[in-house]
Amino acid sequence: MSSPRILVVDDEADLRELLEITLLKMGLDVDSAETLGQARAFLAKGEYALVLTDMRLPDGLGIELVREVTTLYKGTPIAVITAYGSAENAVVALKAGAFDYVTKPVALDQLRIMVQSALRVSTGQAGQPGPAAGAPSRLIGESPAMQGLRAQIGRLARSMAPISITGESGSGKELAAREIHAQSSRAAKPFIAVNCGAIPEALMEAEFFGYRKGAFTGAAEDRDGFFQAANGGTLMLDEVADLPLAMQVKLLRAIQERRVRKIGATAEEPVDVRLISATHQDLAKCVETGKFRQDLFYRLNVIELSLPPLRERLDDLGVLANAMLDRLVGPGQATLGPQVLETLAAYSFPGNVRELENVLERALAFANDGVIEVGDLSLKSARLAEPSSAPVAAAQAAEPPAPVASPAPAAVPPAPDALPNNLPEYLEQVERDIILRALAQTQFNRTQAAQLLGISFRQLRYQMQKLDIQAPED
Ligand SMILES: Nc1ncnc2c1ncn2[C@@H]1O[C@H](COP(=O)(O)OP(=O)(O)OP(=O)(O)O)[C@@H](O)[C@H]1O
Ligand SMILES: [Mg+2]
């Protein structure tokens, strides 16, 4: 079998030579072009495992080649070489479908890492090509929105482009991120999801980048951070809007340099991590209000994946419900009685797919012979969707300016001697009640409420978000 062949496109003789030598040493075959015209001629004749092109060429721009290769030679990854600090070019190339980029001056260790992962894409390791080859998608649903989403995920899995996933709570953001990872050439390496809102600010740097033994009191041995743990794989920054500004700066640096430095270490180490970020907030708005750095936003938000709320794809209720019942009690062991789907379809599901799971799990506990009847559903009737599918926010605004918890409190907590039939839900309910009481007592002063409860402001804000407790004018 012959070696994979790489096409290098660069008009600078020195750089071209450096790239050629590096690639040859990796056991690869190389063709070199100095212009777009030559590159096109090579592409028409041969098959390449990777095209590596400079951005500025005598007869045009590398981005043109990116567009041509991604449309005419779909299976061929193409990466670009960009000038240092030119985030713009890198982002434009990734948006146009480039597999990845390297910056000038080219760091050879990073070049090698990039080439290796491009080879995995083009030789069809892991989930490539596309979702059809791997395991069936875990994202259930036949609605056009869901089909489109699965197709998009299949495409995104083939590149390194940072993805920003948006969607309401429980709509499947983490599941989608896992799916991208599972279908990518990184599938054999770790997928690490980090909840940025849950890490105390003082520990963030250590958690993300690791530390050396003795770097601070209590650092008894060297420890890796999330970046090292996800090396070769995917790092999901969940609730990314919660990152404090100081940490945003450090993160931006790590992304730009593709290197991190452990606390207490003198040297940086290269990391090869694909980034996926997620939030249920409007990041662009956070940029406007100065809560989120524009430059980091630009770097993370290269490709947007948005998950539709369940109420906008009610066609999927049937397949989703049946798949969940099968998973909960075994295939075919439980069914939905008459009118159940219609009743579910009239509900607005502020908690989306996760809420559907919870509703079904509870209903199963009440159901006879595995048949769920309308009476077994305990939907929070206050949140039933209007026939005109009026937005939930409108319904909330109409309520008195008291603290609003949504979804509205579920069943009243059982009497002290009764055992709760769903411990996590019960505990959430207790926690929600306590937080609401503290907020009511302090006229919704979150700083004071946090003090009352002996937690930090950040912790309180995080719990409020998690439990969907909104301040009157939030
Ligand atoms: N399309 C889907 N098919 C099957 N299961 C789904 C789908 N979407 C979401 N789920 C399930 O719903 C639950 C919530 O999904 P997930 O944790 O990915 O949501 P999320 O958007 O990350 O929520 P949050 O905003 O609360 O973090 C999970 O159990 C997940 O497996
Ligand atoms: Mg999540």
Find out if CATH 3.40.50.880 is the number for domain 403-474.
Answer: no
The protein residue with its alpha carbon nearest to ligand 1, atom 31, reads 175
Query: Rounded to whole angstroms, how far apart are CA atoms 471 and 474?
Result: 5
Dist. CA 392 → ligand 2 center (Å): 20
Q: Which residue has the CA at smallest separation from atom 13 of ligand 1?
A: 354
**Cα 172 to ligand 2 centre (Å):** 7
120: left (phi > 0), else alpha (psi -120 to 50), else beta? alpha
Q: What is the CATH number of domain 310-390?
A: 1.10.8.60
pLDDT at 146: 95
Over the chain (474 residues), the average pLDDT of each successive run of 10 is 90 95 96 97 95 95 95 93 81 93 91 92 54 67 94 92 95 96 94 94 94 91 96 96 96 94 95 95 94 95 94 95 94 92 91 94 89 86 42 37 41 57 82 83 83 86 83 57
249: phi then psi, degrees, rounded to nearest 5: -60, -45
Cβ atoms of residues 160 and 120 within 8 Å: no
Does this chain's domain 5-122 share its CATH topology with 136-306? yes
The answer to whether 207 and 250 are in contact (CB under 8 A) is: no
Ligand 1 pocket check: which of 166, 277, 353, 469 to mutate, most ligand atoms within 8 Å of Cβ? 353
244 alpha carbon – ligand 1 mean position (Å): 26
Q: What are the angstrom distances between the C-alpha of 367 and each of 318, 334, 373, 384?
A: 18, 9, 7, 22
Ligand nearest to the CA of 179: 1
Is the peptide bond between 407 and the residue preceding it cis, with omega within 30 degrees of 0? yes
Ligand nearest to the CA of 149: 1
Q: Which ligand is nearest to the CA of 153?
A: 1
How far is it, in rounded angstroms, from Cα 130 to Cα 151? 8
Question: Which atom belonging to ligand 1 lies closest to the Cα atom of 466?
Answer: 26
- Cα 353 to ligand 1 centroid, rounded to whole Å: 6
Residue 95 Cα distances to 55, 88, 114, 146, 296, angstroms = 14, 11, 18, 22, 16
d(CA 232, CA 153): 19
Nearest-CA neighbor of 93 among 161, 186, 184, 185? Answer: 161
How far, in Å, CA of 466 to CA of 343, rounded? 26
Task: Give the count of beta carbons closer than 10 Å to the beta carbon of residue 179.
Answer: 24
- Rounded to an integer, what distance in angstroms lies between the CA atom of residue 82 and that of residue 112? 16
In angstroms, rounded to a whole number, what is the distance separating the alpha carbons of residues 427 and 387? 33
Give the atom of ligand 1 at the shortest distance from the alpha carbon of 177.
Answer: 18
Residues with CB under 6 Å of ligand 1 are 139-141, 167, 169-175, 280, 320, 353-354, 357
Q: Give the per-residue pLDDT at 163.
A: 97
Which CATH fold topology does 5-122 show? Answer: Rossmann fold (3.40.50)
Surrounding residues of ion ligand 2, Cβ less than 5 A: 173-174
Using DSSP's 3-state secondary structure scheme, residue 122 falls into helix
| Most ligand 1 atoms within 8 A of CB, residue of 174, 281, 324 to mutate | 174
The rounded Å distance from CA 307 to ligand 1 centre is 10
Q: How far apart are alpha carbons 29 and 292 in whole angstroms?
A: 44
Strand partners, 260: 269
How is residue 222 written in tokens? 């060297």
pLDDT at 1: 63
- Map out the domains of the chain as residue ranges: 5-122, 136-306, 310-390, 403-474
- Tell me how far apart the alpha carbons of residues 237 and 224 are, in angstroms, rounded to a whole number: 17
* 318 C-beta neighbours (distance < 10 Å), count: 16
C-alpha of residue 46 to centroid of ligand 1, in Å: 43
CB 31 within 8 A of CB 46: yes
- At the topology level, CATH places domain 136-306 in Rossmann fold (3.40.50)
Question: How many residues comprise the chain?
Answer: 474
AA identity, residue 459: Q
Mutation to probe ligand 1, out of 354, 406, 465, 467 (largest number of atoms < 8 A from CB): 354
Q: Which of 310, 389, 313 is nearest to 355 (CA)?
A: 310
